[in-house]
């Protein structure tokens, strides 16, 4: 017996990629992205990048390979803009060059939400009488990222190893209260779940590459996850989930879903860090 969700008719990938034909009268540009269920989130960002154009719909295709295929199919169109996450493609020389295909220059779109002022504005929305001096006293983005580095780099390196060697393991789904102790100085990992995950990745690598040392691969991967590279190469979902936890804890805010936090922070971002993307798209348009 199939579930209610599975029984709902779904569009094929090709049908999704051709939705722009239906929406052409409402969009001056068509943006195609990977995430099928984050179209409103991306729409908000692209409307901020292009406030003067008509843009009412963004098209999520359900994966990077589908966005790339759509870019190939529409390679001669200057109206159809395809945007994909960087992931680890730059580290593995896996960048595909097409005129209408644009890579982010950080791991994912969430990595572009890491702005102190945007997060501070979210705090003000939750605590409308709070002073900027109190926010700065209880939350400093740079120092928070430095503190987070030591508990997140190895987990990120495991993601890199999984991707590099196609190990077929899902990335770790963190539960912050379960997995980390943020009352300790410095922050530390607690319980066994993350360390068990390291062993799972180690065993999968051993099966796939029997002569390859997991510890050696961690050492090689570590160079991509220095403190200076944390915003670029560490998965943005990890970083934003951890930042949300710190903010909620430090300011005693109500709990909220990760996607809700990201959406609200995104509305406050100045998006200066995405100026490169607009510049590259403008080159295509001109």
Q: Are residues 209 and 143 in the same domain?
A: yes
Look at 2-6, 67-71, 232-236 and tell me which has the smallest mean pLDDT. 2-6
Q: Are residues 13 and 105 in the same domain?
A: yes
Q: Are residues 140 and 252 in the same domain?
A: yes
Q: Are residues 177 and 240 in the same domain?
A: yes
Give percent of the chain with pLDDT exceeding 90: 87
Number of domains the chain is built from: 2
Q: Are residues 151 and 241 in the same domain?
A: yes
- 85 contacts 109 by C-beta, under 8 angstroms: yes
Picking from 148, 139, 136, 172, the residue whose alpha carbon sits closest to that of residue 231 is 148
As a whole number of angstroms, the distance between CA 61 and CA 54 comes to 21
As a whole number of angstroms, the distance between CA 260 and CA 40 comes to 12
Q: Is 9 left (phi over 0), alpha (psi -120 to 50) or beta?
A: beta
Q: Are residues 69 and 131 in the same domain?
A: no
Q: Are residues 247 and 152 in the same domain?
A: yes
What would the pLDDT profile of 133-155 be if each residue is shown by its tens digit?
Answer: 999 999 999 999 999 999 999 99
DSSP structure class, residue 194: H
As a whole number of angstroms, the distance between CA 122 and CA 53 comes to 27
Q: Are residues 99 and 227 in the same domain?
A: no
Q: Are residues 254 and 155 in the same domain?
A: yes
What would the pLDDT profile of 242-272 be if each residue is shown by its tens digit?
Answer: 999 999 999 999 989 999 999 999 999 999 9
Q: Are residues 186 and 201 in the same domain?
A: yes
Over residues 63-79, mean pLDDT: 96
Quick check: helix, strand or coil at residue 276? helix
Q: Are residues 182 and 40 in the same domain?
A: no
- 16 contacts 61 by C-beta, under 8 angstroms: yes
Over residues 78-96, mean pLDDT: 96
Domain residue limits at 169: 116-268
Q: Are residues 144 and 82 in the same domain?
A: no
Q: Give residue 68's Cα distance to chain centre.
A: 18
Quick check: helix, strand or coil at residue 102? strand
Residue in this structure with the two tokens 């995950």, named with its chain if needed: 197
Q: CA 172 → CA 16, 122, 200, 231, 260, distances in Å?
A: 29, 27, 11, 18, 21
227, two tokens: 């403190």
pLDDT at 33 over 90: yes
HEC readout, 206-230 = HHHCCCCCHHHHHHHHHCCCCHHHH
């Amino acid at each position: 017996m199939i579930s209610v969700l599975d029984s709902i008719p779904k569009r094929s990938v090709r049908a999704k990629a051709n939705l722009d034909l239906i929406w052409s009268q409402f969009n001056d540009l068509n943006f195609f992205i990977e995430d099928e269920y984050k179209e409103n989130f991306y729409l908000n960002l692209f409307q901020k990048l292009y406030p003067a154009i008509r843009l009412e719909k963004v098209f999520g295709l359900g994966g990077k390979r589908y966005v790339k295929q759509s870019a190939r199919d529409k390679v001669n169109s200057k109206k159809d803009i395809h945007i994909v996450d960087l992931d680890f493609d730059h580290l593995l020389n896996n960048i595909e060059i097409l005129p209408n295909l644009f890579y982010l220059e950080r791991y994912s779109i969430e990595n572009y939400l890491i702005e102190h002022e945007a997060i501070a504005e979210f705090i003000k929305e939750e605590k409308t009488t709070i002073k900027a001096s109190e926010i700065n006293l209880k939350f400093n983005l740079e120092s928070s990222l430095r503190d987070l580095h030591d508990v997140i780099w190895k987990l990120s390196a495991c993601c890199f190893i999984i991707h590099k060697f196609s190990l077929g393991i899902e990335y770790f789904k963190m539960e912050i209260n379960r997995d980390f102790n943020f009352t300790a100085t410095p922050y530390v990992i607690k319980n066994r779940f993350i360390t068990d995950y390291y062993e799972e990745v180690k065993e999968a690598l051993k099966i796939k590459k029997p002569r390859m040392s997991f510890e050696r691969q961690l050492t090689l991967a570590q160079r991509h996850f220095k403190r200076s590279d944390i915003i670029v190469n560490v998965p943005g979902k990890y970083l934003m989930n951890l930042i949300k936890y710190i903010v909620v804890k430090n300011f005693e805010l109500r709990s909220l879903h990760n996607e809700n936090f990201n959406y609200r922070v995104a509305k406050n971002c100045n998006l200066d860090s995405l100026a490169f993307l607009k510049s590259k798209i403008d080159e295509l348009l001109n």
